[in-house]
Chains A and B, each alone.
Chain A
Amino acid sequence: MTKKPLGGYAPRQHQHQPVALYPPYRTSVKRSPQAAPLSFPTTISEESGPVFGHSLIGPLDADLLHNFGPQDVSAIGPRIVVHGRVQDQFGRPVAGALIEVWQANAGGRYRHAREGYVAPLDPNFGGCGRMITDENGCYEFRTVQPGPYPWPNGPNDWRPAHIHFSIFGHGFAQRLITQMYFEGDPLIPLCPIVRTIHDKAAVDRLIAPLDMSRTLPMDARAYRFDVTLRGRRQTIFENRMEGL
């Protein structure tokens, strides 16, 4: 048998990832594993993953301005479009990826039972949305720009404005939850959650630039947020059928 390179997903690039234990993010202190993780090459258990069809997505799922309240009333706040492309680390578009997003309203208030910030709820804003990337890996949704909010970490910690993203690629090995930040926000470098990532360039890639080319005149500004998932190596080994 000829020796060939391994297939499967390329190993996760930990130099670009957050550390598990970062004491300034206080909740990580007792929620971070101390033992080293166990590695093995990906198998079918990691290379397969759930597939979500477009039939999952309702007509307003990607319109957070209108998917909670009455459809003729918009949520209050700066109107924005967020769009981008999901690709793998080899530059291939990830088509059919399910993206779920959630966020606070324009005042920094989440619609959640455990959240007690004094800023009020917006009766016309729920804060969740979802979409599936097209054949080029592209996605787009409309929302309000979320506000920063204070959180019980240090005595005076404020999260930068951010939108949470959950992404399903083609294999469970690609599963990712991350946060998108906004260009120019002075809270970003102060945030202990951002600082769990020690690679500055990796932080910069989570900061969405203003995208005037996609801004809708007299309607909404646009931000661009591209995401890169782990890549699957093309080589198939001899004793293994493609897809297994």
Chain B
Amino acid sequence: MDTHPESASQTAGPYVHIGCTPNFAGITGVYDVDLGATMITGDASGKRITLIGQVFDGTGTPLRDAMVEAWQADANGLYAGQEGADPHFTGFGRCPCDAEDGTFRFETLRPASVPWPSGGVQAPHITLWIVARGINIGLHTRAYFADAPENESDPVLGRIEHRNRVATLLAHPESDDIYRFNVTLQGPDETIFFDV
């Protein structure tokens, strides 16, 4: 069935910001704003939340040169482009990690559940894609909400054999509207990554 092999990935390298967030890199005057800087573009419906976190390497050091992208449904469980999706919400965010402490941050909406292909629903989640120097192919994971009762019946969380690793996919509330999702690339607390 395959007629053409997929192009190979390569690391985004340490200067990914030049191409993906040039204003952040100090290259101003080429693009008005960096792509993905704003996910809420108007009077979007739903609960506004902030998702923050850091990406740690196998020594426990936060990456200060990673770039994280977020893709998620709106407060009604619809993705941008679907009929009826919130016109004031892009669903897409892109954040360069802070140059000092490596924090990433998305000002976004709490998503609703979305369909699972063979029936039922997936618990609310935000897909995250992480690239950086030293990462040869983008790492795909999901942030679920630790306080969401829907997690109990989520089909992805349900198929994780090592139950003690489920917690690596949970974003924890730090206040009513701030959730923290730390990513660990390697080691005993390694985040679950998806081949999907």
Contact = CB atoms under 8 A, between A and B. Distances in A.
Q: Do A and B originate from a single complex? A: yes
Interface of A: 7-8, 10-14, 16-20, 22, 25, 27-35, 37-46, 48-52, 56, 58, 60-61, 67-68, 87-91, 100-103, 110-115, 126-130, 164, 166, 172-173, 175-179, 193-194, 196-197, 199, 201-203, 205-206, 227-231, 237, 239-240, 243-244
Nearest to B118: A239
Given A44-B114, A172-B127, A178-B7, A113 B26 contact: yes
B4 A228 contact: yes
Which secondary structure dominates where chain A touches chain B? Answer: loop
Interface residues of B, number: 83
A45 B18 contact: no
B2 A89 contact: yes
Given A13-B2, A43-B116, A178-B9, 9 more contacts: A10-B2, A31-B63, A45-B73, A90-B3, A102-B19, A127-B18, A164-B19, A176-B9, A237-B117
Interface of B: 1-20, 22, 25-27, 29-32, 35-36, 57-59, 61, 63, 65, 69, 71-73, 79-82, 90-92, 99, 114-119, 122, 125, 127, 129, 131-139, 142, 155-156, 159-160, 165, 185-187, 190-196
B20 A100 contact: yes
A179 B137 CA distance: 12
Contacts of B190: 33-35
Contacts of B8: 16-18, 178, 197, 199, 202-203, 205-206
